[in-house]
Amino acid sequence: MKEHDIILGCKKGNRLAQKYFVENYSSYIYTICRRYISREDIAKDCLQDTLIHILKKINKYNEQGKFKGWISTVTVNKCIECIRREKRNLFSSMDLMPEKSQNENISLKLEHDDVMKFIDTIPEQYRIVINMYLVEGYSHKEISEQLKISESSSRSILSRAKKMINQSFKNENIIVIHNGTKEKKIGS
């Protein structure tokens, strides 16, 4: 079944089209959920909530723009909603945290799974902003509206997240691979 047929079928409440939708888009939606939510059980709950929400609200998709883009936006919103449910005051203390300084830039060639495993280890608020800004392409203004924080807080959180990632890799014994050859070890 083609995407257009799935969309039309789902808009009409066709069970077969809904089945195809779930089969074709679950892994895509789950991947987005996992980028935002580190706990697998909560990510699966969010996947379920998102699938149900999309099927209920599919009539709002006006077929302008890519369907996957619309799905992605809905999924990010559901992830944020799910995180808020889990931790009501996730961002309230972010402005009180001191910002550490770091002047180093570290470039590494890492596999996607390694990056995802590492991102799962950083605090949720950093992971959310880094995903929204770097992966999903949201502006700081859009992030601030979604998360109900100021634009400067969004910038600050992103900056801290980048520094946290750089610091973590700086402290590891990692072999940097550049153009397919080992260059040097980073860290102690």
**What average pLDDT does range 110-114 have in this prediction?**
55
Quick one: pLDDT at residue 68? 92
Is 170 in contact with 104 (CB distance < 8 Å)? yes
Q: Would you say residue 133 has pLDDT above 80?
A: yes
> At 122, is the secondary structure helix, strand, or coil?
coil
The rounded distance, in Å, linking the Cα atoms of 33 and 129 is 14
Task: Delimit the CATH 1.10.1740.10 region(s) of the chain.
Answer: 3-86
**Is the pLDDT assigned to residue 101 strictly greater than 60?**
no
* pLDDT for 13: 93
Contact yes or no for 156/99 (Cβ under 8 A): yes
Give residue 146's pLDDT band: very low, low, confident or very high (50, 70, 90). confident
Phi, psi of 84 (to 5 degrees): -60, -40
Q: What pLDDT band is residue 183 in, cutting at 50, 70 and 90?
A: very low
CATH 1.10.20.10 fits 3-86, yes or no: no
State whether residue 51 is helix, strand or coil.
helix
pLDDT at 179: 46
pLDDT at 38: 84
* Distance from C-alpha of 1 to C-alpha of 23, rounded to nearest angstrom: 11
CB-CB neighbours of 118 under 10 Å? 14
**pLDDT higher at 116 or 100:** 116
The residue-averaged pLDDT of 79-99 equals: 61
pTM: 0.60
Mean pLDDT of 5-22: 94
CATH 1.10.10.10 in the chain, residues?
94-186
Q: Which CATH class is domain 94-186?
A: mainly alpha
**Higher local confidence (pLDDT), 71 or 119:** 71
User: What is the predicted pLDDT for the residue at 7?
Assistant: 93
